[in-house]
Chains A and B, each alone.
Chain A
């Protein structure tokens, strides 16, 4: 091979490799953009789907005053005693035999029309294909789309309810924040105490032993923490608290607190140890005790690092899935006490996505939950970034 051809090949290879590096450099950015794209694309469909289950319609008598029904009203009619009479396809099968409905249910719409005509208070929930057409006495209720307000402001999450599922995010969102908030309240004193002990009090030997041990424990899989919570913590809470169920928000908060501890301790400890030696020495030289030095000098100096640790701990708690799924009891109700079951956003996704048919409203609602969770964690990690970039002493020009 001629030397210049060889050089040319080499140059080609170099350019190729460099292009590959550049492309790879953007990979994390691309992945994040793809995550956003897919989450929102799958989730946004929710607001284009109808409130009533896909393929079904609600029919009433033409003279009925009902114009439009909200999912909550539909649920009221179909699940509780009201002045309206709920009517499903099963009810029709109860009243007519197979022969009367004809081959391939060809006569079904006619019979349905008769039923509706007979009873002006009837609200019928039937597959759209069987809706009687051309009858002046039957009116099909207009299907309205699932609204933003009902999704973000709704207080009930019943994704599998028929005829109209309820997708209210509030109980899940508040459940997530509720559990995480108490987790941090529990983890904070423990974590900061341990941090002070590790960075200021423990001897060098002890520190060398404990620090890696705590870091190591951060690696324990969350499903193992959940398992521990389920076999130890949950029965313990049930027994000592005399509770009907041990799977409560408190159990979730405790497990999350334990899980967040290693994160909080390692980050906060780094911040405290990075306090300039001169600051400590100056304080001690002025006659302050070690404790005074810690809380008057070291704490303020490392406040940004400690806050970042707290924020990261919250981030860990908010996104945690398996452990919470296993110990909180998963009741989708507005959280009101620590001793009752709650349900968080990640746990809802994990528990329900397997059963939600792809492309349906439930599936889309779960992706919408994913979007919300994604935005919350993005907010948290950005906050941590900003906080840890700021230092108390930098601001004061020291």
Chain B
């Protein structure tokens, strides 16, 4: 076969594959949006489920997810940022640092259901938090820790060394350099990491199954020791174990749409932030 013909055939195949992959992914998205858009209304977003979760809205689940997002970020962001400061600004380039990097990488590769098991064993049972926002937030916080660490590390590494030497030359201590020069400079990137974490936390189901999620709980949480409903778990419940699966379908499509919009909006926001930052740098 002529080499030009074989190139034409190969490229044709790749083009089809490439476009079909994007097609599949966009198709899934389109399917959910198409079916979900009719179900979503102001009322859907602001009322509690009713009639065995086949009617009404998803307000408690939205509130629950927001609680979990807030709780887990309160844990992950300070810890993650400080960890990144240590690895980029304080630790040298030795074995310890390599170990820490590997551990951070490994942590991000651990399946979310393992976090669920761990959260149940440590926070729910051992520390006695019970099924609560506190236990769920701790579990989810550990889950997104690698995301926060990685984005902060990247941000700190991207700051030119001139910033550090300049600050130190003026007599500032290392800590002052970190607090007054590096963190403000890295702040926008840290926000990017934070937004990415929000998307991740909002979409996870497995870690909250046994640490916080309530099957049906139409009231709003009063303290961090309360259980809550959460969007992804609510979707799972009404799709697989409701009283009337067919009747609950519109609610399920609506919930899926709200979840996707929330998660994708966060990711879009993060990449938008990143683009602005890149433009600034350039």
Determine if B204 is an interface residue (Cβ-Cβ < 8 Å). yes
Cβ of A398 under 8 Å from chain B: no
Let me know if B271 is at the binding interface, CB within 8 A: yes
Partner of A193, one of B18, B85, B89: B18
Report, nearest first, the 10 A-B pairs whose CB atoms are least far apart: A319-B111, A193-B17, A197-B18, A221-B203, A25-B86, A24-B82, A381-B109, A291-B7, A194-B21, A21-B86
Mask, A16-39, CB within 8 Å of B = 1, is 011011101111110110110011
Q: Within the complex, which residue of B28, B113, B142, B175 is in contact with A373, where a contact is CB–CB below 8 Å?
A: B113
- C-beta contact mask, B224-264 vs A, less than 8 Å → 1, else 0? 00000000110110011000000001001000100110011
A373 lies within 8 A of B114 (CB): yes
Of the stretches B38-46, B47-55, B56-64, B98-106, the one at the interface is: B98-106
Q: Kindly state the interface size class of chain B when it binds its partner.
A: 35 or more
CB-based contact B103/A353 at 8 Å: no
Q: Is the CB of A385 within 8 A of B105?
A: yes
A38–B120 CA distance with the chains assembled, in angstroms: 10
Cβ of B28 and Cβ of A28 under 8 Å apart?
Answer: no
B22–A194 contact, CB under 8 A?
yes
B162 at the interface (CB under 8 A from A): no
A191 within 8 A of B: yes
Given A31-B142, A193-B13, A258-B25, answer yes or no on A14-B109 (Cβ-Cβ < 8 Å).
Answer: no
Residues of A within 8 A of B19 (CB): 197
Q: Is A349 an interface residue (CB 8 A)?
A: yes
Smallest CB gap from B13: residue in A: A193
Q: Are A258 and B205 in contact (CB under 8 A)?
A: no
User: Of B11, B25, B260, which is in contact with the most chain A CB atoms at under 10 Å from its CB?
Assistant: B25
A261 interface contact, C-beta 8 A: yes
Q: Which of B24, B85, B106, B209 contacts A258 (CB 8 A)?
A: B24
Give chain A's interface residues, CB within 8 Å of chain B: 14, 17-18, 20-22, 24-29, 31-32, 34-35, 38-39, 41-42, 189-191, 193-194, 196-198, 200-202, 210, 212-217, 219-228, 230-232, 258, 261-262, 265, 289-292, 294-295, 312, 315, 318-322, 326, 346, 349-350, 353-354, 358, 366-367, 370, 373-374, 377-378, 380-382, 384-385
Complex alpha-carbon distance, A17 and B102, angstroms: 25
The answer, yes or no, to whether B165 is at the interface (CB within 8 Å) is no
Q: Is B15 an interface residue (CB 8 A)?
A: yes
Q: List chain A residues, Cβ under 8 A from B110.
A: 32, 35, 319, 374, 377-378
Cα separation A214 to B20 with both chains bound (whole Å): 12
Q: Select one of B142, B174, B205 contacting A321, CB under 8 A.
A: B205
Contact B31 A228 (CB under 8 A): yes
* In contact, A326 and B236 (Cβ under 8 angstroms): yes
Which single residue of chain B is at the shortest CB-CB distance from A210? B22
> Does B219 sit within 8 A of A, measured CB to CB?
no
Chain A residues whose C-beta falls within 8 Å of the C-beta of B6 in the assembled complex: 291
Jot down 6 A-B pairs with beta carbons below 8 A, ordered by A. Answer: A42-B121, A221-B205, A223-B236, A321-B112, A358-B125, A367-B121
B209–A213 CB distance below 8 A: no
* Residue B267 lies at the interface, judged by CB distance under 8 Å to chain A: yes
Task: Report yes or no: A28 in contact with B146, Cβ–Cβ below 8 A.
Answer: yes
Cβ–Cβ contact A216 & B79, under 8 A: no
Is B271 within 8 A of A370, CB to CB?
A: no
Nearest chain B CB to A203's CB is how many angstroms away? 12
A213 with B100, Cβ < 8 A, contacts A21-B85, A28-B107 known: no
Q: Is B117 a contact of A353 with CB atoms below 8 Å?
A: yes
What residues on A are CB-neighbors of B99 within 8 Å?
29
Partner of B118, one of A24, A39, A381: A39
Name the interface residues of B84-143: CB closer than 8 Å to any CB of A. 85-87, 89-91, 99-100, 102-107, 109-118, 120-122, 125-126, 142
**Which residues of A lie under 8 Å from residue B236 when comparing CB positions?**
223, 226, 322, 326
Given contacts A26-B100, A42-B121, A377-B111, 13 further A-B contacts (CB under 8 A): A24-B86, A28-B83, A193-B13, A196-B14, A200-B14, A201-B18, A219-B200, A221-B263, A222-B203, A227-B256, A261-B24, A292-B3, A377-B114
